[in-house]
Structures are given as structure tokens and as C-alpha cells.
Structure 1
């Protein structure tokens, strides 16, 4: 039976990159053996989410999310609750494209990103759940939420990550700590902190060293709590991020692995950012769904320790080669026996 692919694309993302390259992308995926069709999202709420769920239920083998991190998040929210979840491809066409960066998918060329899908390499990725919403990269509370909401969408499109840095510099002098209670697998943080991150990959806001030991498929979040709200100390921690990820051992940081987090803010409102968008207020429960979605990625360029299933794949390949070798020996022995019988 012919494999079917549905591209769900945001026609306004990345200065209309997808619209300009759609024909070439369709040809690449058709050449990879998929009967391919496309759906342009609309301003209607949950447009990408609803189409992803519809296409999955209709039996499509591959769903391709083409757009920014918001489009990818919507498509994932359409697929993640389903029992049957088709494979997911990603063609980035937004601003920061954190998730594509983590999966080593080309971010400047939609055509090159489509070629990664055609290459056929996949990773069974962990997916996060925040109450009834799903996310693929990050959930956060504190400064990051204010920073993200403070950048107008038209500025994001024009200046990309630079817009976040400029807005961040403006906000830093006004950072105030929030009373947080964060319950995780091996303990509880109950105190004042300026922000927390809950990361699924190593790419957070354009920085790849915030989670230097990230694993994409081990069933664990990386929980980072920034305890200090002092401007100079935060700048020092940022410098340590760039200096080989040395922030992870700093006493002003809590850095742990956990499969579940319960976030509460007893005294203040704490908005929660999910994959770059407002996702509701604390209290919120976060769960990690281990290896929940199979996603196309450029695995040749992803570090081995980021994908635990690479070891499993290698073991399976070794088993297959062993069985194949035994079969060859058995066949060879049978041929020798037949020749020996003939000689008699």
C-alpha cells in the first residue's frame, strides 16, 4: 500500500518560506515514496492541531509540521493524545526554531530539511505534558515567560533571536524572585527563585549549553531552577553557560533529572511558558511521556549520548548480523553435507 504524507504548513512563517518552496518539498517527499498533500493553516484556533489529528485518524503514515515552534507544538498536540501516532517530520520556517536546532535539521533551507525526512533517520522522542497540553522542548516559569510575551510577533519575524536578547536586556534590571514550590522525583524545592526551566532537549532559547547532558529519549526532564535574582549573578551564570555549561554545578542553580514535576506559586501569579507560548498559570503538573513520538532527525550529527535508543539500535543490528551469520554457516554446512553425500 502507498505511504501517505500530509504537510501541515503555516503560510506566513519565516517570510512565507514554505509557500515559495512547497512544490520542491512535495517532489522530495514523493521521491521518498510518499503520496504527499499539503494543508495551509488558518487563523482559526487550533487549525494545525485539528488537521494533525484528522490526518492521523485518516491513516496517514507521516505528518510534516512546517513552520515555527508554535506550529510544531500545535501538530504535536494533535498527535500526542492518540493511540495511533504516525511519524512526524519537521520543516522549520520560524525564528528561533529550537526544536529543529536540537534535532540538527537545517533551519535556513526548507528543501534541505525535507531531504532529512527523505533520508529516513528517526528518533523516538520524549514528549512533555503540562496539565492537558503537550510540549516538545521546554516549559518554564518566571523571567522567560515575561521575555517571550514581551516581543511582538512582527519584531520576532524581522530580527529573530536578536529580538529576545534586546528584550531580555531590558527586563533583567526588573527581575524579581517568585515564591515557588517545585516537587520532583527525588525532592522538593520550596523557596524564592527568579525562574525555572523544564527542558526536553539541549536547545533552549537558542542556547545549546543550558542542558549540556540532554538526552532526548530517556524519559526524564532536565529541571533547572535559578535561585538568584541578582542581575550581576545572573550575568555570571549566563557566562558560565557559554563557558562549557559550568553553571550546572553552581550553588545558585538547582540542576536535576526528573520524570515528573508539580509546580506551585503559593503567593504570586506564575505564568507558564510552553514551547514559547503562554500555557496557563501555576499550579501545573508536568509529566514526561518516554519515547512517545517517532520524529525524523539528522541522527548522524546528534551526539550518541543524547539518544539512548542508538545503543538499542546498535544491539539489535548486532543481533541481526549474528543471526544472519549463523544462517549462512548453517546453509554452508548443509551444502557441504550434500557434497559429501554425493562423493559417497
Structure 2
């Protein structure tokens, strides 16, 4: 008989998982899998680390948004627990789930886990301390996800982020940045920096159409300082899934990079508030096993 831990965020999205806990447990028990629920809040509590360290689990199930998945993956990676992860998406954007092609319905997401098909994905690592799966971003718009009202997220989904982002356009605050990779150095005034592991970010689809979460490489997107009109044009190109223009955007690929940036710049990691400006980011090639359709 297998044993798994279910790490869930009771406040994510439509909050369906807390109401469906018994049926979730039943689905797994029907397959001779004992599943232990663990309620995730903000941050990385010591109790979660202790629980994962003391118990033996064959795999982990995470329910929530990208931030909840980030908390769970950080716990597993910090403890060097090489167990596969299943994801039941219940957040606002679910960028990572969409990159993997995971279903957004509770029943179908559990089906994927129970079918047992797995693949390996890259994992980002910031300053040898914090892991991420989707994005690390700094500058304009990055506070949208964690400053948007929860009720708006539930009522409007990703549209809540778009509406909030439009109000931020008037607050352009350029910053100086230097990005160094193994074969390129870019330096200048920017308004936004995004480091991606997949195609989607903040509910925006196909920001980098050719992104691959299994190639060991990060996609780096720097939006240069530009006028409000140019920024609005760029914003609507992203919404329309058009290719990012080279005029105001610098794009790079690398397995690691270093950043030199003004200290006041706000960063987010997988949609949650970051811990200052990252200095070094590297990718761990296929560092995590996940269940996929």
C-alpha cells in the first residue's frame, strides 16, 4: 500500500478542495493509497519540513496555485526528497499547470495522478536558497498577483490581474540593471525583467512560444524603458499572443545568470512576493518529477 501527502491551500481560487477533502481521500483509498492532508498557509513552516522528514511518502500531491506549488517544491527540494509530485490546480492563473497541459478540473487532475504517467521538469534556483518552477520577475506589474484582492481573483480569474496591471501602467519606474550570462552581457534601463521556465506568466499565454521546461535553460525577457503608449501596445500584443517585438524587448536563453540591479526593485517568485533582488539564478535540469496526462 502506497502513502502520499496532500499539501493544499484552503484559500486558493474557488476553495473547492477543502470542501472536497473526503471525496479526494476516497478516490485515493480506492486505489490502495493512504493520503495524509496537510494545510499550507504562507511561507515555509517548520512543521511541514518536519512532517516530510519524519514520514515516508511515495509521492506528494499539491493543490493550490503557483505560489502553493512553490512552497511545496521548496520543502521537497530543501530536504532532497526525490519523490514525484502531482498537482491539482486551484489557483487564479495556474501557469505551471497550463504549461504541463494539466486539466483544471478536480476529478480529471486526480485521474492524471492515479494513471501514474510522469515526466521531469527543470527547476530554477535563486541564490542557492529558493527554488521556483514558473517565474522570477522584477519591476513593473510584479506585485499585481499578491496585491490583487482575493475576491476579485475568485470572481474574475486571470482577468483580475489584467485589470490590476492596466492601473499599474501609469506608474512606470525605470531601473538600472546588468544581466550577465556565459556568453552575453546586457546592461541598461529597464521597467520589467522576467525569467521564465515555461511559456506562460501571470495568466498571459505563450509569452515565450518556444520555451521548454525540460531543456535546462531559462528564458530571460527584459522590457526596456519606453513610453506609456509603447508599453500599452506591448501589453496588448502579449494579451493577443503575438510575438514580442525586438524594439523594446531583449530576449536571452541561459542555464544561469547573474543580476546587478537597484535594491528598491520589487521581485516576485512564482507570483508571490520575493525576498529582495536576486544575485544569481541557475536552472537544475530536470530536477523534479511530476505527473502528467
Give the aligned partner of residue 90 of structure 1: 87
Distance, in Å, in 1 between the alignment partners of 2:272 and 2:241 is 28
Matches of residues 258-269 of structure 1 in structure 2 within 5 Å? 258-266=254-262, 269=264
Shift of 1:202: 1.0
Give the aligned partner of residue 113 of structure 2: 117
Matches of residues 1-344 of structure 1 in structure 2 within 5 Å? 2-42=1-41, 45-47=43-45, 50-51=47-48, 54-55=51-52, 58-107=55-104, 109-131=105-127, 132-242=129-239, 245-247=242-244, 250-266=246-262, 269-298=264-293
8 Å Cα contact 2:121/2:289 also seen in 1: yes
RMSD: 2.1
Report the structure number with the largest CA radius of gyration. Answer: 1
Structure 1 residue ranges without an equivalent (≥5): 299-344
TM-score, normalisation: structure 2: 0.91
Distance, in Å, in 2 between the alignment partners of 1:230 and 1:296 is 43
> 1 or 2 for the larger relative contact order (CA 8 Å, sep ≥6)?
2
Shift of 1:284: 2.3
Deviates more, 1:34-43 or 1:162-171: 34-43
Shift of 1:244: 5.1
8 Å Cα contact 1:89/1:117 also seen in 2: yes
Shift of 1:50: 4.5
8 Å Cα contact 1:52/1:63 also seen in 2: no
Distance, in Å, in 1 between the alignment partners of 2:69 and 2:205 is 19
8 Å Cα contact 1:177/1:192 also seen in 2: yes
The structure whose residues are more often helix, as a share, is 1
Distance, in Å, in 1 between the alignment partners of 2:86 and 2:97 is 10
TM-score, normalisation: structure 1: 0.79
Shift of 1:80: 1.2
**SS of the counterpart of 1:6?**
strand
Distance, in Å, in 1 between the alignment partners of 2:241 and 2:148 is 28
Structure 2 residue ranges without an equivalent (≥5): none
